[in-house]
Amino acid sequence: MPLVRISLKRGRPPAYRQAIAEGVYQALRDTFDVPDKDRFVTITEHDGDDFIFDRSYLGIDRSDDFIIIQLTVSNTRPREKKQALYRRIVEVLAESPGLRPEDVFINLVEVLPENWSFGLGEAQYVRG
């Protein structure tokens, strides 16, 4: 846990996409106590006509570099950790691959720990 889904406009090189995945993982480790090797990420590229977003919603100036990061996590963390995560993701992605904070949209989806199975048909986070 967590499950990370990253969506962006098609055309970025593999190193750019990898930097985003690595940056989000680093931010999760820094703020959410995510353990080593707990990394499950999908990256989806979209043609311009299939990647629709408002360029100025809430007064934020978004560019063609806009990305959407959706994180599915267990509902075990307080608001302060969530806010720290959002800030850290933006900080790390500004460093590499050089994304502007305005172009980073984050959606956190919380689920109960029993809603995870990492394989073997077992709910690994269920005790007993």
Residues catalogued as catalytic:
2
Check if the beta carbon of residue 108 is closer than 8 Å to that of residue 71.
Answer: yes
Longest dimension (CA), the chain: 49
Q: From CA 110, how far away is CA 106, in angstroms rounded?
A: 13
Instruction: Find the helix or strand (DSSP H, E) in which 88 lies.
Output: helix 79-95
What's the Cα-to-Cα distance from 89 to each of 30, 34, 101, 120, rounded to whole Å? 10, 14, 9, 32
